Structure 1
Amino acid sequence: MTACVVVVGSINVDRTIVLDRFPQPGETLLATSLTESVGGKGANQAVAAARSGASVVMAGVLGTDPEGDTALRALQDAGVDCGPIHRFDDEPTGSAWITVASGDNTILVVPGANHRWTDLDLPVRDDDILLCQLEIPLQIVELAASGPGRFVLNAAPGRPLPNELLRRCEVLIVNEHELATVSGTELSCDADPEAVVSASRMLLDRGAHTVVTTLGGRGAISCTTERALYAAAPSVDVVDTTGAGDAFCGVYCAELAAGACRARALRSAVTAGSLAVRSPTAQGSYAELTGLDTSLAETPEVRTLFGS
C-alpha cells in the first residue's frame, strides 16, 4: 500500500490585504484589495501535498462557524481526507491577517480553535510521512512525534525546541529565521551556505536526522552528518510569497511518501515554492502543483556542498 502524508496542523481562514508598501507604526494607508481564502500552515501543506499527487490525511481543529465550513469544504475539494478533523461549538475557526506589499508579506495569526487540542488519535502507519508545524500546541506535536510514522517537523513559527523532539525528527524543515531561533545562533536573512550548514550541524548534533533550510529565492540546503545538498531556485516573477514555504513542505513530504531520494525531494520542493509565488494567496497558487514534473525542468540540478 502506498504511504500517505498525514498532516497534523493548523487550519485558518486567511484575509489578505494588498498594499503598495508596508505602513510605518502609527501610519494609515489605503489598501488596493482584500481577499479571503483558506490557509493555516497545516491546511496549506496538506493541500500542496494533495495537489502534487499524494494521498493526504489532515488532522486539525475547526469551529462550527461559517469559516469552519469554508475551510473544511476547501480541504475536501482538494482531495484531502478530513476524517480526523474535529469541530468545537465554543471556539472560532483560526484566522490570519496577511499584508502583502511588493510580493513580500507579514502575517498575524489568531489561533482560535487551533489551540483547543488536548488529545490526538491518528490513523498512521510506520511508513507514512507524519508532518507537523508549530501553529498548534507543542504538546500535540510531541504526542504526534511519539507515535508511528516518519516524523517531519516544519518548525514554524520558530521557537526553541527540546532535544527529545529533535531526536524524533527524520526531517526538520526551517527557514533562515527559524534555523537561527531553533539553533540559538545569529544568522542574517541572506546567510551564506557555510553559515547555514554550521547552524544545521548544531541541530544534527542535538539529534535531528536531516535539517532542510529554505532560502527563499535562493533555493534550499539539506544537511545530514554525511553530506549537504544545495538546490537553487529558478528565476521567477514574484507576485505573493504567502504559502511558498508550505508548498515546499507539502511537496517535500509527498516525494518522501512516494519513495523519492532526498535530492529529488529537495529539487521538487524548491520547484513547488517557485510555483507558489507566481499567484496571489497561498492555496490559490497550488493548482500549478499538478504540473510539477513539467516545471522541474526550470530548476537547476541539485549539487553537493560536501560529502558524497
Structure 2
Amino acid sequence: MTRSAPDILCIGSVLWDVIGRSPASMRIGSDVPGRIVRLPGGVALNVAMTLARLGLSPALLSVLGRDAAGDELMQEAGALGIETGFIYRSDDLPTDAYMAIEGAGGLVAAIADAHSLERAGARILAPLSDGRLGTPEAPWAGPVVLDGNLTEALLREIAASPLFARADLRVAPASPGKATRLQALMGHPSATLYVNLEEAGSLALTPFDTAAEAARALVARGVARVLVTDGGRPAALATPGLCLERTPPEVLVARVTGAGDTFMAAHVVADLAGADPAASLEAALLAAAAHVSGDRDP
C-alpha cells in the first residue's frame, strides 16, 4: 500500500551488497583477515537511503524477485522511510546482488549482478504511465534519480519519452564500465550528470587530468550540468559559462562503496533546498567525506 506522493523518484538498482573489508593491502591472490557485511545497496537504493535520512520522501522504481532476498529488501527500505509500493516484483527474475572487496588502498575489485534489472527493462517504469505517478499526458514533474545500471536502450527510451518531459533528471553511472550508457542523456536539457574522473573519461572517450578539465569538456559536449569527483583531489561543478572547484575534506578512508551515491544524494537535497552551486557542491563533498570516514552507519 503506497503512502502520499513521494518527493523524488529513484529509478534503478535495488540489491544486496556483500562487501569484504580488510585493512591490509591486497593484490591478486591475496587471502587476508577482515570483515564481511551484507547491506541493502544498489545505486537507486543507496541514493534513496541518503535522501530519506536528509528529510525527503523518495520512492523506488526497480525490480525485486519474489524471493526471500527481495522480501528482506522491501522490509529494510520501508523501515527507512522509502516508498517501495511501486517496485516491480518478478516471479521469474531473482533479486540482484553486488559483491566487492575493499582493502587499504580502497576498492580492490567488484562484481555487479544487475541482470534482473536489465531484463525487466521498461516494466519498472509502469507507474509513470498508468496513473499511479503520471501519464503521458500528465507526466511526473519532479526530480528523478536515474541509475546507470539501466540498459543503454532503456536510457535512450527515457531520453525521448514524454513520461520524462517535465522531470528534473539526476543521472549517475553505476561504474566506469557502464558510463558510456549515459551518452544517451548528454544532450538532455534537464539532465545533471554525477561522475567520477574515470567515468568522465569513459563518457567522453578521452582521459582527463583534473575534475575541472573533465567537467568543462562534458559541458562542451552538450551536458547541461555535470559534477565530477576525483577522490581526495578537487571536485568540479560545471554548467555552460560556469565551472567551480572545491577540495574535499581530508579524512581517513574506512570504506568507499556508496560514496558517490552519498555525494549525489547530498547535492540533490542541497540543490532542491535552493542552495547556490558552490554551497551545494560543498554540502555534497562533506557528506561523502563523512561516509568514507565511517562516520555513518556501515
TM-score exceeds 0.5: yes
Alpha-carbon distance in 1 for matches of 2:187, 2:67: 38
Paired with 1:69 and 1:198, the residues of 2 have a C-alpha distance of 44
| Aligned-pair identity (%) | 25
- What letter corresponds to residue 155 of structure 1 in structure 2? P
In the alignment, does 2:252 pair up with 1:237? yes
Shift of 1:167: 1.3
**In 2: Cα distance, 1:97 partner to 1:3 partner:** 30
Deviations 1:107-147 (A, max 9, x none): 21111422222321332666511111211222333344431
Q: CA deviation at 1:3?
A: 8.2
Aligned equivalents of 1:213 and 1:255: distance in 2?
A: 17
Distance in 2, matches of 1:229 and 1:91, equals 43
Q: Deviation at 1:42?
A: 1.1
2: CA distance between counterparts of 1:110 and 1:152?
A: 23
What is the deviation of 1:260? 2.8
Deviation larger for 41-50 or 115-124: 115-124
**Deviation (angstroms), 1:91:** 1.5
**Which stretch has the larger CA shift, 32-41 or 108-117?**
108-117
Q: CA deviation at 1:184?
A: 1.2
Question: Over aligned residues, Cα RMSD in angstroms?
Answer: 2.4
Runs of 4+ in 1 over 4 A off after TM superposition: 124-127, 161-164
Q: For residues 32-73 of structure 1, what are the alpha-carbon distances to aligned partners after superposition, in whole Å with 9 as ceiling and x for unaligned?
A: 221111111111011111111122111111111211112212
Which residue among 97, 100, 114 is the counterpart of 1:98?
100
Q: Within 5 Å, give how 1:98-247 maps onto structure 2.
A: 98-102=100-104, 104-105=106-107, 106-119=109-122, 120-121=125-126, 122=128, 123=133, 127-145=141-159, 146=161, 147=164, 148-158=166-176, 159-161=179-181, 164-168=184-188, 169-187=190-208, 191-192=209-210, 196-247=211-262
Q: What's 1:62 paired with?
A: 64
Say whether residues 1:40 and 2:42 are aligned partners: yes
Aligned residues, how many?
275
Aligned to 1:160, the other structure's residue is in SS state: helix
Which whole-Å CA distance do the structure 2 matches of 1:84 and 1:3 have between them? 11
Q: Which residue, 13, 19, 22 being the options, matches 2:16?
A: 13
Q: Structure 2, unaligned stretches of length 5 or more?
A: none
Q: For each residue in 1:61-109, what CA deviation from the matched residue of structure 2 results, as whole angstroms up to 9, or x when unmatched?
A: 1111211112212211211111221111211111111101116123211
Alignment match, 1:295: none
TM-score by length of 2: 0.84
Could you tell me how far apart the structure 2 residues matched to 1:228 and 1:2 are?
A: 35
Q: TM-score, length-normalised on structure 1? A: 0.81
Counterpart CA distance in 1 for 2:194 and 2:52 is 19
Instruction: Classify the secondary structure of the residue corresponding to 1:118.
Output: helix
Give runs of aligned pairs for residues 279-298 of structure 1, distance below 5 A.
279=294, 284-285=297-298
CA 1:131–1:149: 2 relative to 1, 3 Å: same
Specify which structure has the bigger relative contact order, considering alpha-carbon pairs within 8 angstroms and separated by 6 or more residues: 1
CA-to-aligned-CA distance 1:19-43 (integer Å, 9 cap, x gap): 322232xx25133221111111111
